[in-house]
Amino acid sequence: MAEMDERLPADVRTISIFCARCNRLLYKYHKGGEGSLVKIRPKRIAEDHTAGALDCPKCGQTFARERMMGGGPAFKVIGGKLYTRGMRRK
């Protein structure tokens, strides 16, 4: 079986992902594409401030669920639990 391509897309940018309840930084993430944040691919996480859990370390709110999406593992974001900075293109 062929290895997955580890390269990031050409339109990738680094965004910051925060808890909507307590404003704590959870991830620095390499986001590709123009759409909103629907899923988080573990391989694209640049900095993880959650120690691998899908709960906020400060307030304990669950912000995502583990799923298999598009043939690989992903964290499915629960609506309204996160907010992002750095999504807008200049």
- Contact predicate 44/56, CB 8 Å: no
Residue range of the domain that includes 66: 13-85
Q: Which residue has the tokens 């050409």?
A: 10
In a domain, 7, yes or no: no
pLDDT confidence tier of residue 80, bands split at 50, 70 and 90: very high
In a domain, 55, yes or no: yes
pLDDT confidence tier of residue 4, bands split at 50, 70 and 90: very low
In a domain, 1, yes or no: no
HSE (side-chain half, CA atoms, 13 Å) at 74: 13
In a domain, 8, yes or no: no
In a domain, 58, yes or no: yes
Name the domain count of the chain.
Answer: 1
Angle, vertex CA 8, rays to CA 34 and CA 16, nearest 5: 60
User: What is the b/e burial string over 54-69, where b = at least 16 CB atoms within 10 angstroms of the residue's CB?
Assistant: bebeeeebebbeeeee
- The whole model's pTM is what? 0.86
Which residue has better confidence, 23 or 6? 23
